[in-house]
Amino acid sequence: MSKPKPSDPTIFSKIIGREIPADIVYEDDECLAFKDINPCAPVHILVIPKKPIPRLCDASKEDMVLLGHLNLVANQVAADAGVGDAFRLVVNNGEGACQSVFHLHYHVIGGRTLQWPPG
């Protein structure tokens, strides 16, 4: 099987389209938030835009409002999960930074003591 290109549809497009299930905790016209299938903390939620931006570095000025919205939704889902005052927001951008799904996503991680710097 050939290596996926950043422009290919991803598993997250299938979650948006309800072709595969996910534990969805928030949805609006612009974005979706659901629990990570492989959580690294008691709270591990992914916030994704419905627009298929592959990586953060592929976002442009026209995405400015959307990117701000994703941050506010991250705040909201963290608060709803009970970790609103202590959580980490992570974007892995590109293969070299461990991005494995090429649809922009923010990891909202919390519910345990978090170390710094991350590995």
Nearer to ligand DGP, 62 or 88 (CB): 88
Interface residue list for ligand DGP (CB under 6 A): 11, 22, 34-38, 46, 92, 98-101
Check if the beta carbon of residue 99 is closer than 8 Å to that of residue 92: yes
Query: What phi and psi, each to the nearest 5 degrees, are found at residue 117?
Result: -80, 155
CB of 59 to ligand DGP, least distance (A): 15
Nearer to ligand DGP, 34 or 87 (CB): 34
Nearer to ligand DGP, 18 or 61 (CB): 18
Catalytic position from the list 44, 103, 105, 107:
105
Query: What phi and psi, each to the nearest 5 degrees, are found at residue 48?
Result: -130, 145
Q: How many C-beta atoms lie closer than 10 Å to residue 66's C-beta?
A: 16
Active site residue 105: yes
SS3 13: helix
Catalytic residue ranges? 105
